[in-house]
Amino acid sequence: MRRKLILYTVVSALGGFLFGFDTAVINGAIPFFTEFFDLTETMKGWAVSSAIFGCVAGALFIGVPGDKYGRRDMLRVMAVLFLVSAVGTGLSQDIFTFIAFRVIGGLAIGGASVLSPMYISEISPPAYRGRLALTFQLSIVVGILIAFASDLLLLDTGPGNWRWMFIAGAVPALAFLMLLFFVGRSPRWLVKRGNLEEAREVLESLNSNADIDLMIKEIQQSINSEVVDHIKYLFRKPYLRLMLIGLAVGMFNQFTGIAIVMIYSSDIFRAAGFSTESAIIQTVIVGLTNLVFTIAAMFFIDRIGRKNMLLFGSIGMGIFLAAFACIFYFDIQGLMPLVFMLSFVACFAFSQGAVIWVLLSEMFPNNIRSRGASAGSFSHWVFYTLLLLVFPVIQTSFPDNRGIGFVFAFFAIVTFGSYFFFRKYIVETRGKSLEALEKDVIN
């Protein structure tokens, strides 16, 4: 792999790092800003999920400007939003200002969740595309882990500790913004815009021993300007089927319950009888498990394929989600909640966690990739928002932690069901160029 290919991938993947950090940093801060703002359980749910409303909007509306202004330039805008959100949230004096800045951060997360993996897929040679696109998910996981670790380090910094937890995100946001001035534009976006010479330069700098003329020709042949410029084609054959599959992929990803684990794990461990400090330490262990198995997935995604990993994960996650539900329904104490949660996270990281953003960045043809990936990410964030809003309410609606048991039993049933969906509707994408894939996914 060329050095520029690695550089462009790593810089773009920083969008994933900020995605992970911004969504997870609130985990350790929850009990402290809840006390500071004197929040009810319902208001706590709104405070925690507020960023996700921005995520929904960012994912839904980024497709058009991503096509018009390019992936790289819109990522610069996302970097600015990350920076503003980190500082603004940490300095908030009332809950409404806090929520407003969290929504701004959410816009950045939603936009980056579409643009970063799509940019990486569009610059990557087919043989490396899986593992390179997976660097986005790896960056999310690292961001989550660093957020958990920084929460732990800042735990004893005084009554304003939650402020520093959020402000810490300004450092990587500033680095992301600066580094984006050292990467080129997406070659496929350049071809769509008619900038063939610049596209040629970028392709030559990123690909070894490749026929650049043939690559440009294949990209040109895959583009229909009529479809690119009009949204109506998204609701017609052959694209409607792909859009519906993308929406379902986003939904099934969230109905594994991973959002609840990553955002509310401290609350869940406290409900299982652990102290606040012990709960945060175990949350860091969850983050480490997520990281280790995401790295493991990088070695297999271009070997065993995306579809096989999804099928394996559906079975594994379903089993451990069911076990986790039993733990809370029957109020079993000890280390078993941690064991089953770690097992679930390992299965998720190796399967859906590794695959979803790669799949959404690959499965749509050049004509609709930006808008298709936007729709899949939009579905992901809609269900993410829904779950974060209702979990605190359900948790407190049943005695003796049975609410948590019912929630994870539901996740287990849906995750088992996703096996049959993936088996029937997902097309294997490994080892083929994005243009060659179009024939497979459309037919």
Q: Over the stretch 5-42, which tens digit does the pLDDT of each residue have? A: 999 999 999 999 999 899 888 878 888 898 899 888 77
Residues of the chain with pLDDT under 50: none
The pLDDT assigned to 435 comes to 73
pLDDT at residue 229 in the model: 59
Burial of 425 (0-12, 13-18, 19+ CB in 10 A): middle
Closest CA to 291 of 116, 109, 146: 146
| pLDDT computed for residue 233 by the predictor | 67
Q: Specify the pLDDT at position 230.
A: 62
Q: Which residues contact 399 (CB under 8 A, 6 or more apart)?
A: none
Helices (H), 180-275: 187-192, 196-206, 212-222, 225-229, 239-254, 258-271
The span from the CA of 331 to the CA of 325, in Å, is 10
Polymer length in residues for the chain: 443
Report how far apart, in Å, the C-alpha atoms of 63 and of each of 112, 128, 228, 368 are: 11, 25, 11, 9
pLDDT for 404: 80
Q: Which CATH superfamily is domain 3-184+224-442 in?
A: MFS general substrate transporter like domains (1.20.1250.20)
Contacts of 263 (CB under 8 A, 6+ apart): 23, 24, 26, 27, 48, 388
CB 131 within 8 A of CB 9: no
- Spans of all domains in the chain: 3-184+224-442
Question: Hey, what are 259's tokens?
Answer: 């959002």
Please state, for a pLDDT cut of 70, what percent of the chain lies above it.
95
Rounded to 5°, angle at Cα 117 from 185 and 309: 150
CA 345 to chain centre: 15
Give pTM, 2 decimals.
0.81
Q: Note the pLDDT tens digit of each residue in 214-239.
A: 888 888 877 766 566 567 767 778 78
- The position carrying tokens 């970028």 is 202
Task: Output the pLDDT for position 311.
Answer: 95
- Chain-centroid distance of CA 137 in Å reads 7
**Distances, alpha carbon 220 to alpha carbons 35, 168, 204, 208, 217, in Å:** 57, 44, 17, 21, 5
